Amino acid sequence: MGEIFLSGLNTAKAGLVSMMARARFEWCLVAFGAGIAVYFSMATEPGLWPGLVAMGVLAALVLASGKYLALREMLVLGLFLVAGLSRAIYHTQMVQAPILPDTQRAYTVNGWIENIKSSGKLQHFFIRVQNIERLDTDKTPVRIRLRIKPYDFKPGDSIHIRALLKTPPGPAIVGGYDSGRASYFKQIGGSGFAISKAKTAEFAPLPLGQRLERRLVKFRYGLSRHIQARAPPRTAGLQSALLTGDRSAIAPAQAQALRDAGLAHLLAISGLHMGLLAGGSYFLMSLFLASIGPLARRYDMRKWAAATAILTATAYLLISGASVSTTRAFIMAVVVFSAVILGRRALSMRSVALAAAITLVLHPENILSSGFHMSFAATAALIAVYRYWADRRVYTRPANFARRMWSGFTGMAVTSFVAGGATGGFAALHFQRFARLGFLANILAMPMFTLVAMPAGFLAVLVMPLGLDKLPLLVMGKALDYVLAVAVWVSEMDGALMYFKSANGQIISLFALGFVFLCLGPKRIRITGFAMLIGSWFMWAGIHRPDMRISDKARVAFWDTRDVNILTVDRKRGDGFGRARFIEQAGLKTAELRTFKDAGTVCDIQACRIELKEKIISIVHTPEGVAEACTDSDLVILTLREAGPRTRRQCGVPLLDIRELSQNGARDIHIKNGKLKIRKTNPKARKARPWG
């Protein structure tokens, strides 16, 4: 037995050394990312100094490990893991900014509008705050987010407005998207809605950085409005979004059709758009410079063209608003073209890892982002597959044009299949849906989008100063009409979308790590990665949906035990956003809402009594009815007022009142094996973090 153990240990050591020798930088990046993930999973906010001390100790041990190669490699991975943890701690401290109290109050705000996003009949104004009347500077947030009726205000305009504001909200459902954490890293310190008409503000001159940023915002949205005025009306909003990143004018039906057809990646300015623009400028500049004989014979024109591509990508980054996905695509483009300048292989797993490393060093919170997972997963999968293909194929030049066309179509089909498969798993995990017919939609739409729509759009921007942009915008619009027709046709097919239950962070982490192992490792590591993927799917299948939801305003909803598609609610109005997420969490597109009265729930003026999986839940409206409900219930919910300390002490079962719900967030109620479990959206672990 001992010999078998030693043999296995030696094999593991040899495998670790071989793995690190094969892709040392890539595995160090994986450890760095794992350290960031550990930081965000912690129940308390760690200090920076212990991490720095641990890094020093590990670095000394690495130097002292000498000939013990396996030990040294383990210490190196441990060093990068602690480095990732420390970087996340430091970044969180650096972006810390004032946050308004959790109690909603009226504030008079002066600032300028950084961005406007549509939200149904309302708009979201993202305001860079200059001052808030009667609030000290050290307590004034950097930014706020307001829900407001549409006004004739544009990004870059100054604004004076009175609004009800409070701390940005946390997750709407347990384990859901944490908008409060996202707001923290964007330095949004307040969220609410306007209670006065917006006016133009007057304030002191802005610092140089803000002045430049404001001018860029005005230029960007001026360009967006110009495109919308000159482009065909049906596709004007989509054209503006693709060229400037301003998605406020996209028709909701068009956006929904693209998402349902698996073409949602067209809406986000990311690797595809940046690659088309930067790659197109590289090709054109290479062609132009190569035609200049003396220069082409003396210099490597590819390097000059690569420098031009980097400048083009930088301009596109600034014009498009420098969103997170665009920034990731820009970093990737710069890495690729820098490799051309330095004479290295442009597209390799090392270049992907370097782009991911820069992204995580600048913004460690991206490790939690679905966009980060999907964009780098697609790129890594494509490089892994094409590297495997290139090592085994025998290249022969196609004999005729038809064969060259077929070869190009095959390459595009493989690209769509691999990228769709790589991102599909992450899309299902993050968004509880998978576009089953996305491969068909991409095969039909992408040639037109890639070869006609985007080149015409970029040409329109180039000739815009000459006033010659109308024709290219018309061509782009016609091409997008075709793309939208494909999206509508595919999205209306039966079974176009598959829906899944929501997955927790542990499942997503295991899936992501398995995917990395599958792309990076030698054969044994790839087998381990595949086993991790299978394990994550089994864990996902074992998740049970909550039986009941109680919102932070004490709105109650629970699933009918006889029909999985019926959600019984206290009333149909209220908690619309939370209930929609609750339905998605259960793996459903929609559900029938049935009121207590329609479902036959026993109710009177003072209370309602629900029997759910042999548990009795009482919904009480006044404190006077709590004592009686506590005697024969398994859970008591007080909806309109808070329970006194004496009532709470005397109640022998869980008691949720309006104060407790508002402080600790909505609840998920699970009933399994005769036991009742309550989970919070804002537990103590979240409150212990800076964004809690």
581 lies in a domain?
A: no
Which of 429, 327, 410, 423 lies closest to 375 in space, CA to CA?
423
Over residues 534-552, the mean pLDDT reads 91
**Which stretches within 393-453 are classed as H helix?**
401-431, 438-448
Residue 272 and residue 132 in one domain: no
Of 62-71, 88-97, 154-163, minimum mean pLDDT range: 62-71
Residue 87 and residue 118 in one domain: no
Residue 141 and residue 192 in one domain: yes
Instruction: Give the full edge-to-edge strand order of the sheet including 635-638.
Output: 602-603, 607-612, 615-620, 635-638, 655-656
- List pLDDT tens digits, range 602-612: 888 788 888 88
Over residues 120-127, the mean pLDDT reads 86
What pTM value is reported for the model?
0.88
Q: Pick the most confident of 94-108, 254-268, 343-357, 631-645.
A: 94-108
Name the domain boundary from 204, 238, 260.
Answer: 204
pLDDT at 437: 85
- pLDDT band of residue 23 (cuts 50, 70, 90) is low
pLDDT at 466: 87
Question: Strand, coil or helix: what is 399?
Answer: coil
Q: Is 516 exposed, middle or buried (0-12, 13-18, 19+ CB in 10 A)?
A: buried
- pLDDT band of residue 18 (cuts 50, 70, 90) is low
pLDDT at 167: 93
143 lies in a domain?
A: yes
Residue 379 and residue 344 in one domain: yes
Domain limits at 440? 223-499
Q: How many structural domains does the chain have?
A: 5
pLDDT at 128: 94
99 lies in a domain?
A: no
pLDDT at 392: 61
pLDDT at 602: 82
Residue 347 and residue 437 in one domain: yes
Of 116-130, 157-171, 250-264, 313-327, minimum mean pLDDT range: 313-327
Name the domain boundary from 32, 62, 94.
Answer: 94
Say if residue 142's pLDDT is above 90.
yes
Say if residue 523's pLDDT is above 80.
no
210 lies in a domain?
A: no
pLDDT above 90 coverage of the chain, percent:
30
Residue 76 and residue 118 in one domain: no
- Distance CA(77)–CA(83), nearest Å, equals 10
Say if residue 6's pLDDT is above 60.
no
- pLDDT band of residue 480 (cuts 50, 70, 90) is very high
Comparison of pLDDT for 532 and 292, the residue scoring more: 532
pLDDT at 520: 83
pLDDT at 650: 84
Q: How far is C-alpha 52 from the geometric centre of its chain's CA atoms?
A: 30
- pLDDT band of residue 2 (cuts 50, 70, 90) is low
345 lies in a domain?
A: yes
- List pLDDT tens digits, range 390-426: 666 655 665 566 766 766 667 667 777 777 778 888 8
589 lies in a domain?
A: no
- List pLDDT tens digits, range 176-229: 889 999 999 999 999 999 999 989 888 888 888 888 889 988 888 888 899 999
671 lies in a domain?
A: yes
pLDDT at 353: 85
Residue 605 and residue 525 in one domain: no
476 lies in a domain?
A: yes
pLDDT at 624: 83
Residue 247 and residue 349 in one domain: yes
- List pLDDT tens digits, range 287-324: 887 787 777 677 777 888 888 888 988 888 888 777 76
Strand partners, 131: 110
Residue 234 and residue 293 in one domain: yes
**Which stretches within 502-595 are classed as H helix?**
505-520, 523-541, 576-585
**CATH code, 161:** 2.40.50.140
Asked whether the beta carbons of 141 and 101 are under 8 A apart, the reply is no
Q: What is the DSSP string of 325-364?
A: HHHHHHHHHHHHHHHHHHTS-SSSHHHHHHHHHHHHHH-G
Residue 232 and residue 171 in one domain: no
- Average per-residue pLDDT for the chain: 85
Residue 493 and residue 513 in one domain: no
- List pLDDT tens digits, range 579-629: 999 998 888 888 889 988 887 788 887 888 888 888 899 999 888 888 888
- Distance CA(152)–CA(100), nearest Å, equals 28
- List pLDDT tens digits, range 143-163: 999 998 877 888 889 999 999
Residue 531 and residue 479 in one domain: no
pLDDT at 689: 92
Over residues 245-271, the mean pLDDT reads 81
